[in-house]
Structure 1
């Protein structure tokens, strides 16, 4: 049975939330968003090692929040980097330092956005199951909107059934993922799948979940609350 890891990236500053408090620490049903996210993985029942990447300036605040909310989910905290790429690499470095080669030989590593608190246990389970054979799997949903590509004064329509909105967690075979993150960081890296793909690897899509919302704007918290209420019924 292979070891399974998730690196939850929560080092962002939440600049689009019109707040000095990063979005992953805003309250959702009286609990910080990030705690909801961690619990989703804890409750998915796939035997995960949970690594949370936070900016150095927020680590003490996180400890205070855990005490305040009596949050006891087992997780390791790692200092984030200046970019998402660097934060993920810091998480990988932690895994390499703290687990044996035997544990990592057949391991699977997921990366998830800390501000996606509604990911379902079923999606997590399905992605890990698929990653055993596919080695690089991401969740995505097809666009329901008409899509155009180009500039404001020069664009063209594309078939929306060929456009996918990518989500997380994205899951990879550990050996492949470690190798991918030895590359130099470039602007083309928009997510972990793009890092893996840069080396010529095939990335497979598994049907995602429209409830798997990423908290980006203030109104997303209201939407997440509605989704959370629906998922709880």
Structure 2
């Protein structure tokens, strides 16, 4: 398939309550820069023609204004009531056939290699969702108690969840459903097969103070 325009929709709507911080977690400092700066930087490095759409609550715009100019062509868009609506607002900026990445703003350690492998896989299969194996034992809870389940049957899902625009745009035209936990569930509802690609152990989501310490160590 011919190369396509590349659009990264980076969603950062967290409040930072689990961090116990007045500053939302995506703006906390990591190796001298805000968490979200590292995330944006990874996509900017991955492809010279990457268009970045940053989706934030309007009240958070002031947090990014001082460094936004470092990334030419980046677009700042107001978020919505839920993640689904925030992604939908970002998708409104997609005007032509593209490969669309949807990424958590609080996954700052995503590698250029993972972004590129998602792009190549989405060109081939229509979608590319990074996933890693479970290492811990897990149990399923039910009304009578709980039971062990085979962890080999489960994967841990990461972002960037990556799709051809002709799959994700019509999917997000459907009405919101609380069962939509991520972009893959929205696209899957349209009858599309979801392709999993190898994710990265270091592609952690920063939601608690310990995650920031781990991320600092990984960067160092």
Q: Shorter-chain TM-score category?
A: over 0.9
Q: Which structure 2 residues correspond to residues 43-82 of structure 1 after superposition, within 5 A?
A: 43-45=45-47, 47-64=49-66, 66=67, 72-74=70-72, 75-82=74-81
Q: CA deviation at 1:187?
A: 1.2
Looking at structure 2, the residues matched to 222 and 203 of structure 1 have their Cα atoms a distance apart, in angstroms, of: 33
The equivalences for 1:22-171 within 5 A come to 22-45=24-47, 47-64=49-66, 66=67, 72-74=70-72, 75-96=74-95, 104-105=96-97, 107-151=98-142, 154-171=145-162
- Residue 7 in 1 paired to residue 9 in 2? yes
Contact 1:78 1:94 in 2 (8 A): no
How many residues end up aligned between the 2 structures? 217
Mapping of residues 208-219 of structure 1, within 5 Å: 208-219=199-210
Runs of 5+ unmatched residues, structure 1: 97-103
Write the distance in 1 (CA, Å) between the matches of 2:21 and 2:117: 35
Unaligned runs of 5+ residues in structure 2 are: none
Judge conservation of contact 1:9–1:87 (CA < 8 Å) in 2.
Answer: yes
TM-score normalised to the size of structure 2? 0.94
1:133 to partner: Cα distance: 1.2
Q: What TM-score do you get using the length of structure 1 for normalisation?
A: 0.89
* Structure 1 residue 131: Cα displacement: 0.5
Task: Please state whether the residue corresponding to 2:14 is helix, strand or coil.
Answer: coil
Tell me by how many angstroms 1:94 deviates.
2.2
Q: CA deviation at 1:190?
A: 0.6
Aligned to 1:188: 179
More helix per residue: 1 or 2? 1
Three-state SS of the structure 1 residue aligned to 2:116 is helix
Deviations 1:117-156 (A, max 9, x none): 0001111111100100110110010100111112485222
